[in-house]
Amino acid sequence: MNTLTHRHLWLAIGWGLVILVTVLSLLPPPSLPDAQVNDKFSHILAYFTLMAWFGQIYPERLKPFLALLAMGAALEVLQGMTGYRDMSAYDMLANTVGVTLGWLAARLRPDLLVRLEARLP
């Protein structure tokens, strides 16, 4: 099993990403012109990044997988309660796709942070 020397740093960065996704999910949406852009890619990318990141830190990967699925669903429910955002089953599905792809990426390349640490001074 790979051990991370700077595990606390990687966890801090990961939790920073969680906070960023949470804040961006619950802030009022920016008033931009309607560009007909599908935001599902943003959901997939955000949850892919979170799962791929935490999948490097936690080798068992099941706990972060389940936690991120729960986070995505909870944030969608909270969005529906804000009055200025809508809850969307399609967003939940995009979040799930992102978590699943991130899990797969972490499983295929579980040593990326270890390799990065090897290059740090």
**Taking the model in full, what pTM does it have?**
0.90
**Domain residue ranges in the chain:** 39-119
Give 82-111 pLDDT, tens digit per residue. 999 999 999 999 999 999 999 999 999 989
Give 9-27 pLDDT, tens digit per residue. 999 999 999 999 999 999 9
Q: What is the pLDDT of residue 79?
A: 95
Give 44-89 pLDDT, tens digit per residue. 999 999 999 999 999 888 999 999 999 999 999 999 999 999 999 9
- How far apart (Å, rounded) are the C-alpha atoms in residues 88 and 76? 7
